[in-house]
Structure 1
Amino acid sequence: MASPKAVEVKNLISSDKVVIFSKTYCPYCKLAKEIFDKLKENYTAIELDLRDDGEEIQGILGEITGAKTVPRVFVKGNCLGGGSDVKTLYEKGELKTLVDA
């Protein structure tokens, strides 16, 4: 995990409080972004389907998080999981706490 691309992915993860690795056409990605919009929380979305290195990044995310599916949502460098995970945290009122902590 010391390849230049892996280092780039780790830098992307730490580049903002909320980072969402996404694909523009993915309904779960849209769900995750809509939830952060409802919280009025800014986020950085990295749209993997619009990048030449998207598949490579998705593979690295799989190594880091144990799952290659999108979205991969990070808050303060910690992976929360995907769209359903974010929705569950939001519905329990825990997501806002994680973002504001």
Structure 2
Amino acid sequence: MEAIKRLTSGKGVVIFSKTSCCMCYTVKVLFSELGVNPMVHELDLNPEGREMEKALLRLGCSTSVPAVYIGGTLIGSTNEVMALHLAGSLVPLLKPYQIFM
């Protein structure tokens, strides 16, 4: 869990992902289209990826990937991100981290 905290604290938007995950791809595209350039950690390419996946589940993610942090706070996985977006609450959270718009 320390690795997760280290990688997310004091950062803007962080996504824990896997290169083969279609939902991860969807979330990354959404953030890109919203003008955000997130820091992406591909867990399947990281030697500590399995441990990080387990830690994300213990921290409350419904699925280990994608796991989205905004401003150091765990937002959740695809369902939580999409629910925020559909409710109009995601863009205001991302405003400080947008590179355009």
The TM-score with structure 2 as length reference comes to: 0.84
8 Å CA contact 1:35–1:90 kept in 2: the answer is no
Give 1:66 deviation, angstroms.
4.7
Instruction: Give me the whole-angstrom Cα distance separating, in 1, the residues matched to 2:28 and 2:66.
Output: 9
1:73 aligns with 2:68: yes
| 3-state SS of 1:65 partner | coil
Give 1:52 deviation, angstroms.
1.3
Instruction: Give me the whole-angstrom Cα distance separating, in 2, the residues matched to 1:76 and 1:95.
Output: 12
Instruction: Give me the whole-angstrom Cα distance separating, in 1, the residues matched to 2:83 and 2:30.
Output: 10
Instruction: Give me the whole-angstrom Cα distance separating, in 1, the residues matched to 2:31 and 2:13.
Output: 9
Tell me the alpha carbon deviations over residues 12-60 of structure 1, each in whole angstroms, 9 at most, x when there is no partner.
0125210000001101101110110011111100000111111101111
After TM superposition, the structure 1 = structure 2 runs for residues 22-101 of structure 1, keeping only pairs within 5 Å, are: 22-100=17-95
Identity %: 34
Structure 2 spans left out of the alignment, 5+ residues? 97-101
Give 1:93 deviation, angstroms.
1.8
Give 1:61 deviation, angstroms.
1.1
Kindly tell me the number of residue pairs found equivalent between the two proteins: 96
Give 1:69 deviation, angstroms.
2.4
RMSD: 1.6
Structure 1 spans left out of the alignment, 5+ residues? 1-5
Which is further off, 14-23 or 83-92?
Answer: 83-92
